[in-house]
Structure 1
C-alpha cells in the first residue's frame, strides 16, 4: 500500500487529508503525483470522483513555498 507520504506529499497536507477521511491515494493519484512532484506536466483521464483534482492540486500545494512576512506569494 502506497501512502501520500510515500508520494512525497508534505506532512501538513497529509494530516489535512487524514482529518477529511482521505487515508490512501486512488490509482490516478498514485500514478500522477510523482510526476507532479517533479514539476512535470501531468495529463490524465479518469471517471468523476476518482481523485483527479487532488492528483493535480497536492503536488502544486507541496511545491509552493510558505510566504515570508511582508513578502506575499501567489499561484
Structure 2
C-alpha cells in the first residue's frame, strides 16, 4: 500500500494521545455513535496499513470535536 494514501493516520493517533484515550476507548466512542470499526482497523489506520473510509473520517471528526479538514492538517 502507498503509505502516502492514508493522510489522517498520524493525526488520529496524535489526537487520541492528547486526550489520553486508548484505542479501545476511541473505538467505543465511535461505535456508540454508529460507526462499525474495530480496534484492529483503528490500529491499521493509525499505522497507515489501511486507508480510512469517508465514514471513518466523519466519525473521527465528530468524536474528537474537530472539523474534518483538521484531520488532514499536519
Q: TM-score, normalised by structure 2?
A: 0.34
Higher helix share: 2
Q: TM-score, normalised by structure 1?
A: 0.33
- Of the two, which has the highest radius of gyration? 1
